[in-house]
Structure 1
Amino acid sequence: MRLPVFAIDVGYGSTKYTYRDGHGTVMTGIFPSLTPLAPIMMGGPELNQRPFHMHKTVVITVDRIEYEVGPDVPITAAYGWTGSALCDDYAVTANYRALLFGAFYFTGVTHVERLVLGLPVHLMKMYSPLLKQRLLGETHFGAGCVTIDEVIVVPQPLGTLVLTANNRHNDFRHDEAHLVVDVGYFTTSWISANGLTIDDSRSGGMRSGTWDICKRIADHISRAENEIVNDIERIDKVLREKETYLFYGKDIDLVPFLELTTPIAANAAWHLQSHLGSSPSVSSIILSGGGVPLYAKAIQQAFPDMHLKSVPSPSLANVSGYLIIGEAQDAREWGFPTQDIRGTSIFS
C-alpha cells in the first residue's frame, strides 16, 4: 500500500501510528515499544512470523538482529529484559527502527511519500538530522520492505497543539499564547507558542515520566516483599487499567505505593514552572501523553491560576497532529488554501 502521508510516534512506552485510508477514514494503531530478541526457530526468520489469530507480533530484522514487536509482544521477560530502550539517543537505535518498521508491517504500507515523526523538544537539534538520514530511501526489514521519500520531524507536543487548533477551528486564537505539556513514558516535553509559532526560549524537556513512577513503585514492592521486581511495563499496565498487581499469587493494591511517588511528579512540575517563569498571558495548559493521569495534579498545584485541559485520547494526540501537519503540507503543494502551521522553529 502506498500512502501520501504516514504519521508515527515511536515513544519510549508505546508506538502509535495514524494514516488516512483510501476512503478518507483516519486509521490509528498502538502497540508497546518493546523489542525483545525474537525466538530462534527452525526454518529461518520467514517462519518466525506467528499466525495473526495466535499472536499478533512480527519479527523485524535491523542490522542482522531479529526483534519481536507488536501488540502482543510479551511485557515481561527473563531477567527483566523486554527490549525497552531508555536513552537520549533512542531515535537512532536499532530498537527504534524495529518499532518503526513494525508500524509499516502491521498497516501494510510499502511506500510513503511523507513520513511525519516526533522527538522530545530537548532532543530535536541533536537527533533530527540523523533520524532523517537513516530512514530516507528503501529499507528491507526482514518481514518486508518500505520506501520513504521524505521525512519530517517535529517537536512531539506540536502534534497536540496542531490537533487542538484543528478541533477548535475558529475558537483557536492565533494571537494567544498556548502551553502544551506532553507527559510521556520517559520524558516530559513542553512547548510555549504564540498561535502555532513556537517560542524556543520557553520550550524544553526533561527526563521524567511514567517510567520513573513505575520504577519507584517496583522498588517499594521489592522492599515490602523482599524480592526484586523488574517488570516495570506490567506495573504501568496495571496502573492504566486500575487493576491489582499479581505477585506470586498475591493481589497487591498499588494505590498506597502510588501515593508515595508524588515527589516525582511534583519535581517535574516545579522544574517546568521554574523554566517558564511568570506566564500571565497563557490562558490554559494543554496536557497530552500517557502520563497525564499521573502528573496532572502536580502540574495543577504548580500552576494554581491556570486552567488545565486534557485532550481526548491523550496517548494518540501527538500522532494525530502529525497527520494533520503532513496533510497540510500536501495541500499547500497542490495550491489549496491552508492555515499556515510553518513557524520558523517548527520544522527541522
Structure 2
Amino acid sequence: MPEIVAIDLGYGHTKVVSQGRDGEIKRMIFPSVAPITTRERTAESNGMGALRTVTVCVGANNYVIGKDAYLEADSNYSRSRLDEYSQTDGYHALMLGALALSGLREIDQLVIGLPLTTLDTYHSVMSSKYLGEHSIGATYARRKVELAVRNVLVTSQPAGAMINAVAGQPGLKKATNLAIDMGYFTMDFLMCEGLRPFYKRSGAVQGGMSGYYDHLNGMVAEKITSEGLPAQSTVDHFRLEETLSNGIQGENGRTIYSLRIGKLEVDITECVERASTRLTEYLDRMMTTLGGGSSMGIISSVVLAGGGARMILPAVKERFGKTHDIVMQDAAQYAIANGFLHFGLASAKRAAAQV
C-alpha cells in the first residue's frame, strides 16, 4: 500500500493523519506553536519527564514542535495571525515537525490544505516547497530524519471536511452542501454541489475561535473581579480551550464549565453561554457572502468540521436546524485531515492505474 501523510495545519492546532504500507492509520494532534530555542536538547537525566517534541532547523533557528512545545514558549509568545502564515518560518517548522513525527520516510502522497482565501496564491509554492527530499532535525543533531515526498497535493481545508463527509455519507455527493470549518483565526465555508465547489459563494470570516476566546476572556475577567478574586486582564487561550474541552454534563442537560484560578474552581458556564453571540455573528457574516436565503434554499446539508465545530453547533442548529440536515462529523478536529487522507488514497489509486 502507498504511504500517505495528510496534514491539516491550522493557526490553532496541527492535525496529522497517516497511513503506512501496512495499512495502519495513525492520528495525532499538537498545538501550532513553534517557539525558537537556543538550548541544546538532550535526554532528560535530572528526574524530570522528557518533553514530547522534536526540534527542527529552519534558516538559522531551531524550533520546538510537538504536543509539549508550548512548554518551551515564554509568556510573550503569540501565534501568527498573518494571511501569509503558510509562508512563514514557523509554519515551515511545523510542517517539517509533522512530517518527522508521522514516522513515514518514503511518502508517496503528501496532502496539505490552505484556507480558501490563500489557496490560489500559494498552491504552486506549497507544492514545490515540500516535494522531494528533506533532512529534518536541529542544527546540532548528529543524526537527522531523512525522508522523501514523491507527490504533493494541495487543496482547501473545508474541501477536506466535505470529502470526509461524503466518504461517510455517500448520499451527500448528490446534494448541495455547505461545509463550515470552524478554525482558530477564521471560519472557512465552502458551498458545493456534491464535491463541485461554488467558489463565488464560499470564503472565510475573520475571527474564528480566537475571536470567541477573546470575547469570552473579557466576560471571565469581569466575573473573576466581581467575585472578589485578584483581577486577571487575560486568561490564556490554551486554558480556555482546555476548560471548554472538559465541560461536565449537568442533570438538566446543561454543560457546566469550570476554570481553575490558582487552587479555586470558578464556574464560567454563564460566560460561555453569553459569549456564543460572537459565533452567531460569524454566521451572519457568512450569510452575506452566501447571498442570504437564495443560497440556503438550495442547500440540503450543513457539514461542520474543525476544532470549534462543537462550540458552533448550537448556533448552527438554531439557525438552520429546522430546514437543513446538520452533519456533525465524529472527531471533528480530524475531519479535514481524514478527508485529505481519502484524497491522497484516491490520487495514489489513479497513479497506480496509469502505470
**1:334 counterpart SS class:** helix
The 5 Å alignment of 1:189-200 reads: 189-200=188-199
- Name which of 225, 250, 254 aligns with 2:268: 254
- Determine if contact 1:50/1:57 at 8 Å carries over to the other structure: no
Structure 2 gap ranges (5+) = 138-143, 248-256
Q: Over residues 87-124 of structure 1, what are the superposed CA-to-partner deviations in whole Å (9 max), with x where a residue is unaligned?
A: 21111111111111111222222332321011111221
Match of 1:263 in 2: 277
Cα gap change, 1:79 to 1:212, in 2 (>3 Å): same
- Determine if contact 1:49/1:58 at 8 Å carries over to the other structure: no
Cα gap change, 1:215 to 1:75, in 2 (>3 Å): farther
Partners in 2 of 1:80 and 1:301 — Cα distance? Answer: 38
Cα gap change, 1:328 to 1:244, in 2 (>3 Å): same
Partners in 2 of 1:61 and 1:173 — Cα distance? Answer: 43
| TM-score between both structures, scaled by the size of structure 1 | 0.86
Q: Does 1:235 align with 2:234?
A: no
Letter in 2 for 1:71: K
Structure 1 gap ranges (5+) = 42-46, 337-348
- Determine if contact 1:76/1:234 at 8 Å carries over to the other structure: no
Partners in 2 of 1:78 and 1:216 — Cα distance? Answer: 23
- Determine if contact 2:105/2:146 at 8 Å carries over to the other structure: yes
- Determine if contact 1:12/1:84 at 8 Å carries over to the other structure: yes
Q: Does 1:146 align with 2:147?
A: yes
Match of 2:251 in 1: none
Cα gap change, 1:281 to 1:160, in 2 (>3 Å): same
- Determine if contact 2:201/2:289 at 8 Å carries over to the other structure: yes
Partners in 1 of 2:93 and 2:183 — Cα distance? Answer: 20
Q: Over residues 163-207 of structure 1, what are the superposed CA-to-partner deviations in whole Å (9 max), with x where a residue is unaligned?
A: 1211224x3443x21111111111111111111111111111121
Q: Which moved more, 1:116-125 or 1:246-255?
A: 246-255
Q: 1:148: Cα distance to partner?
A: 2.2
**2:122 counterpart SS class:** helix
Q: Which moved more, 1:217-226 or 1:18-27?
A: 217-226
Percent identity between matched residues is 24
Letter in 2 for 1:74: Y
Match of 1:244 in 2: 258
Q: 1:84: Cα distance to partner?
A: 2.1
Aligned length: 327
Cα gap change, 1:305 to 1:55, in 2 (>3 Å): same
RMSD: 2.4
